[in-house]
Amino acid sequence: MRALLLHPAAKPVVFLLCLLPLASLVHGALTDGLGPNPAEALIRSLGDWTLRLLCLTLAVTPLRVRTRTPQLARFRRMLGLFVFCYACLHLLAYAWLDMGLDAADIGRDILKRPFILVGFTTWLLLLPLALTSSNRAVRWLGGRQWRSLHRLVYAVAGLALLHFAWMRGGKNDFAEVWLYAAIVAALLLERLLRYFTPRAQT
């Protein structure tokens, strides 16, 4: 497994796997395969994949530590950038398909609907994480400040869950909300355990 993770093809394979959901959605949009309300299906699916990839990104370090597979760390940055990519597409789909790219209407909608405000705030918090994902940014900020900044990812996860729950609340459908909440809670608990158990830190 470790040899496979270090193979030159490993990163391109992960890259293509991360693109598969987007390719499926584009294909569905072009072939009328997104159901009776394709705009809503596209917006929500992009949001769902943002949350899934966020959970996967958060899981990299626990998996790396618990399985003693440091090679997993080489995929974390790519996964994090895909989180931002899908979040941007989610925001763009909302702004374009729901609001017709009318900046004034978008601004009013953000202020009027709390779950939209939470979603937009989540995207704003993701922005500095994406902008400082490069090695140059790590050197510029310094390791300690960079790590402190990137702890915002847990605030991002909490706000993303709140946005998701608020959106699903309109249809009284909380099954997936509880699933994602359990995953994020488990990952946060694992981080806390590692923080308070020095021997587990790597």
Percent of the chain clearing pLDDT 70 (strictly above): 97
Determine contact, residues 48/161, Cβ cutoff 8 Å.
Answer: no
pLDDT tens, residue by residue, 99-153: 999 999 999 999 999 999 999 999 999 999 999 999 899 999 998 899 899 989 9
**CA separation for the pair 30, 32 (Å, rounded):** 6
Torsion of CA 64, 89, 180, 174, to 10 degrees: -170
Report whether 163 contacts 119 (CB < 8 A).
yes
Contact 5, 71 (CB under 8 A): yes
